Amino acid sequence: MIRYIIRRLLWVIVLLFAVSFITFIIFYLLPSADPATLRAGRQPNPQLVEQIRHNLGLDKPWYQQYFDYMKRLVFHFDFGYSYQNNISVKQQIFDRLPASISVAVGAAVIFLITGIGVGIISAIRRRSLLDRTTMGISLVAISAPVYWLGLVALYLFAADIGKFPVPFLLGAGSYVPFSQDPTTWFQSLLLPWFVLAASFSALYARLLRANLIETMGEDYIRTARAKGLSERRVVFHHGVRSAITPIVTAAGLDLGILLGGTILVETVFNIPGIGRLSYDSIQNSDLPMIQGTVLIGAFFIVIANLVVDVLYAFLDPRVRYT
């Protein structure tokens, strides 16, 4: 197992190199704004533009720029400085990381709890009114775009602009770090968590329901019942344990989509996270910031996938890594 993890971690490094290289290439090949011209104001003279280009290192060939960037990153863990505001990229990313992690982890907890809970109840109460209602609602949740759902949630329930304001559901722009005020942190994230989790909850509920219905028809379930085990033990120890394996796979892969979703949630709810930072940096052609946010995002996705693969061994005794 240890050897497997070390091998996977080495691949993580290769993958991150590949991601950084592709990001660099995309920036240079696709039409993006010229950072030097943007920085030089609205009536720049050519000398100024060229001097800024030189100062930012943009007058070097792209491969030289890439080499310089990677050298700084590998040897000094230095992501460079933003073209936009000349502030350290690393400082800005690590400053915003807790907000994004708060959004993503909170949403993941909610969608796993609600998705798995609803999935199990729907499977064991198949064709009941409860089953039909939850599956109907899940269809709506899957179809609703995150941005739209966020706006609707704010207009209906937010304490400041909601039509039916709920005092503890704070509105956009109310986020504060956990270390500053845990209560406000929690209240400011409740709406974003539910909005981001909605479609995932629905998807997981439907997925688990289908898996569990299939699993509950297996011979070993009948055998477990014949042995006189309680229905609860049959469902949770034998049925759910088997049916949940594909859910774990999906959860690992969905982390990327979840991070994508945080861009929209962070925008609607004005949460200063990585998602919003990456969006703004793309708008401003701020390459160091684009590179930094993409690399951090890629790092979390590959690590999440690794964790999922390791979890497999615990969930399914047939899986062994060498």
Partner 1 sequence: MPNSALKASIAVLAALAAALVIAACGGGGGGEAKSGGTLKVLDTAGGVDSLDPGYWYYQSDYQELFTTTQRALYGWKPDGDTPTPDLATTLPKVSNGGKTVTIHIKSGIKYSAPLQNRTVKTADIKYAMERCFLPQVANGYAPVYYADLVGLKNYQDKKASDIKGLQTPNDTTLVINTTKPAGVLTFANGGALGMPCTVPVPKDYAQKYDQGKQSTYGQHQVFTGPYMIQNDGKGNITGYKPSQKLTLVRNPSWDKSTDFKPAYFDRIEETCCSDSTVAAKQTLSGQNLLSGDYAAPPTPVLKSALSSQKDQLSIKSSGGNRYISLNTQVKPLDNVNVRRAIAAVIDRTVLRQTRGGPTLGTIATHFLPPGIAGFDDAGGTNGPGDDFASSPTANVALAKSYMKKAGYANGMYSGPALLTIADNASPAKETAEAFQEQVKAIGLKLQYREVPHATMLSKFCQVPKQKVAICPNLGWGADFFSAQSFIDPLFNGANIVPSGNVNTAMVNDPKLNAQIDQAKQITDNTKSAAAWANLDKQVTSQAYFIPWLWDNNVGLESTNLKGVPSKFNSGAWDFAFSSLK
Residue 267 is a binding residue for partner 1 (CB under 8 A): yes
3-state secondary structure of 249: helix
Q: What gap in Å lies between CA 271 and CA 104, rounded to an integer? A: 12
Task: Please count the CA atoms within 13 angstroms of the CA of 43 that sit on its side-chain side.
Answer: 0
Q: What gap in Å lies between CA 320 and CA 136, rounded to an integer? A: 39
CB 204 within 8 A of CB 116: yes
Using the 8-state DSSP alphabet, how is residue 300 labeled?
H
Q: Which of 12, 16, 151, 313 binds partner 1 (CB under 8 A)?
A: 151
Burial 215-246 (b: 16+ CB within 10 A, else e): bbeeeebeebeeeeeeeeebbeebbbebbbbe
Residue numbers 79-118 binding partner 1 by CB under 8 A: 81-82, 84-87, 92, 95-96
Using the 8-state DSSP alphabet, how is residue 237 labeled?
I
Q: Give min distance, CB of 54 to partner 1, in A.
A: 8
Residue 42 is a binding residue for partner 1 (CB under 8 A): yes
Q: What gap in Å lies between CA 117 and CA 108, rounded to an integer? A: 14
Residue 161 is a binding residue for partner 1 (CB under 8 A): yes
Using the 8-state DSSP alphabet, how is residue 88 labeled?
B
By beta-carbon proximity to partner 1, the closer residue of 254 and 286 is 286
- Under rule CB under 8 A, how many of the chain's residues touch partner 1? 51
Residue 37 is a binding residue for partner 1 (CB under 8 A): yes
Residue numbers 221-240 binding partner 1 by CB under 8 A: none
Q: Give min distance, CB of 109 to partner 1, in A.
A: 25
- What are the C-alpha distances in Å from 20 to residues 35, 268, 299? 19, 28, 11
Residue numbers 172-201 binding partner 1 by CB under 8 A: 172-173
Residue 160 is a binding residue for partner 1 (CB under 8 A): yes
Q: What gap in Å lies between CA 95 and CA 115, rounded to an integer? A: 31
Q: Give min distance, CB of 92 to partner 1, in A.
A: 6
Q: What gap in Å lies between CA 209 and CA 187, rounded to an integer? A: 31
Residue 272 is a binding residue for partner 1 (CB under 8 A): yes
By beta-carbon proximity to partner 1, the closer residue of 41 and 136 is 41
By beta-carbon proximity to partner 1, the closer residue of 3 and 163 is 163
Q: Which of 184, 245, 249, 270 binds partner 1 (CB under 8 A)?
A: 270
- Which chain residues interact with partner 1 by CB under 8 A? 31-34, 36-49, 51-52, 54-56, 81-82, 84-87, 92, 95-96, 151, 154-155, 160-161, 171-173, 267-268, 270, 272, 276-277, 280, 282-285
